[in-house]
Amino acid sequence: MYNNCMKKRISDKIINRLTLYHCILNDYIDKGEEHISSGQIAQLLKVDDSQVRKDLNLLNNSGKSRVGYIVKELKKSIESTLGFAKTKKAYIVGAGNLGLALAKYRDFSNYGLNIVALFDVDESKIGKEVNNKKIYDIKELPAYVWKEFVDIAILTVPAQYAQSCAEFLTKAGTKYIWNFTPKVLKVPDGVQVWNENIMGNFLQFTYDLN
């Protein structure tokens, strides 16, 4: 989803850290703070200051000695580097608890993600709206994707339906799947899948408690 140059230059781990830096910068702006140092960012995230400086050196932005970085300029540099400015359309497949929660999450728009619709098979949900986003019958998905030029599918269906849904989505022309199901999907060449491993992240976080 980034251009080829950015994909080669910035790793997934760095992208993850830059988004955390972006959150901190938003908080600083809300507080009216104009400057921030790499040390302040490092202290908040409990990481090494040299790592923060190394990450920020990838941006077209430089701090000043004893002053630090201008918060608003650093925020714009991160947004430009990670492509926040270019809005990407997405739709959710599965209007269950997780799908509805994602549809209600308003901060996605701050990162260039526009969730435009949800799709489900449950007739009791079809036609309703969540956060001004309509829930459509899954049968309408291929025509909708073609008409609206939607880039990304967010998959939140029960695990037993994940693979069949993925096959349906790729046949409809979807090239990017953000997979929230606990299934490793088999997709054709040219289709990219990002697995959101919620339980894996939880187990990493709590490993030391064992």
* Domain termination residue (choose one: 57, 82, 107): 82
CA distances, 98 to each of 71, 136, 165 (Å): 34, 17, 16
Instruction: Please indicate, yes or no, whether residues 78 and 95 belong to a single structural domain of this protein.
Output: no
Mean pLDDT, range 170-196, rounded to an integer: 95
Where in the sequence is the domain holding 38, given as residue range(s)? Answer: 4-82
pLDDT at 5: 39
pLDDT in tens, 6-65: 444 688 889 989 999 999 999 999 999 999 999 999 999 999 999 999 999 888 766 665
Residue 57, token pair as written in the block: 């050196």
Instruction: Please indicate, yes or no, whether residues 125 and 163 belong to a single structural domain of this protein.
Output: yes
Residue 172, token pair as written in the block: 């409809």
Backbone dihedral angles phi then psi of residue 177, each to the nearest 5 degrees: -125, 120
* Domain termination residue (choose one: 62, 82, 102): 82
pLDDT in tens, 84-96: 878 899 999 999 9
Residue 83 Rama label (left phi>0; alpha psi -120 to 50; beta): left
* Domain termination residue (choose one: 67, 82, 97): 82
Confidence of residue 111 (pLDDT cuts 50, 70, 90): confident
Provide the total of helices (H) and of strands (E) in the chain, helices listed first: 9, 9
pLDDT at 170: 96
* Mean pLDDT score of the chain: 89
Instruction: Please indicate, yes or no, whether residues 15 and 52 belong to a single structural domain of this protein.
Output: yes
CA distances, 170 to each of 74, 142, 195 (Å): 38, 10, 16
pLDDT in tens, 124-144: 999 999 999 999 999 999 999
- Tell whether the model's pLDDT for residue 1 goes beyond 50: no
* H/E segment holding residue 53: helix 49-56
